[in-house]
Every structure is written in C-alpha cells, then in structure tokens.
Amino acid sequence: QSALTQPASVSGSPGQSITISCTGTSSDVGTYNLVSWYQQHPGKAPKLMIYEGSKRPSGVSNRFSGSKSGNTASLTISGLQAEDEADYYCCSYAGSREVFGGGTKLTVL
C-alpha cells in the first residue's frame, strides 16, 4: 500500500492563499471522505488541523479548510502567516487501515 502523494514543497507570501494536494486512489481518498490533515513544526508532534475531509477541531483557525474531489483531497490555507511555515501531512482511512501522505514543506516567503 503506497503512501498518498503530496507535493514536496509549496510556498507563498504572507497574506496569500496556498493549496496542498493529496492524491490517493479509489481504495482510500476516493472512497472515504475521511481525510485528515496534520501540521508539524520541526521537532514537534503533529497537530490535527482538519478531520473528516473538511471539519476543523476546536481551536484551529478558520484560515484552514479542507476539500475533496475524486481521489484528491486538498488543504487550503488563506491569509498565510509566518507561523504557518511547517510540514503538512494528509492521512486517509483505507478500510481497516490508515495511510499517510509523504508530507509537504510549506515555506512562507
């Protein structure tokens, strides 16, 4: 079972919006709307940002949003801030197992 495919890196300037894609297959992302997104700063544990495709946990900024089309899920961050610079990972349920993406490094220019 392969990892979900994410771009290795994305970048944007403060105030801009960026989107990170997460491409899976009909066995995971395409079948289940159960993608979660995690933010990880260097040396820190991951933090849940989005679950069930588009829901935000309490305390997560509404600048973060999630969506899905076909086999691809997306995380959009609007109004980029310096503190958003981090690694981002998607994760999908795949029927009794879970699979993570390869991770995307977000650089805020």
Partner 1 sequence: QITLKESGPTLVKPTQTLTLTCTFSGFSLSTSGVGVGWIRQPPGKALEWLALIYWDDDKRYSPSLKSRLTITKDTSKNQVVLTMTNMDPVDTATYYCAHRLWGPGGDCYSYDYWGQGTLVTVSS
- Interface size with partner 1, residues (CB under 8 A): 26
Q: How far is CA 3 from the centre of its chain?
A: 13
95's tokens:
């029927």
Burial of 1 (0-12, 13-18, 19+ CB in 10 A): exposed
Given a contact cutoff of 8 angstroms between Cβ atoms, the answer to whether 11 and 104 are in contact is no
21 contacts partner 1 (rule: CB under 8 A): no
- Contact mark string toward partner 1, 66..85, x via CB under 8 A: --------------------
Q: How far is the CB of 51 from partner 1 (least distance, A)?
A: 4
Among 10, 25, 48, 54, interactor with partner 1 by CB under 8 A: 48
Q: Which range, of 9-17, 21-29, 50-58, 69-77, touches partner 1 by CB under 8 A? A: 50-58
53's tokens:
């495709």
91 contacts partner 1 (rule: CB under 8 A): yes
Q: How far is the CB of 17 from partner 1 (least distance, A)?
A: 23
Within a 10 A sphere around the Cβ of 36, how many other Cβ atoms?
23
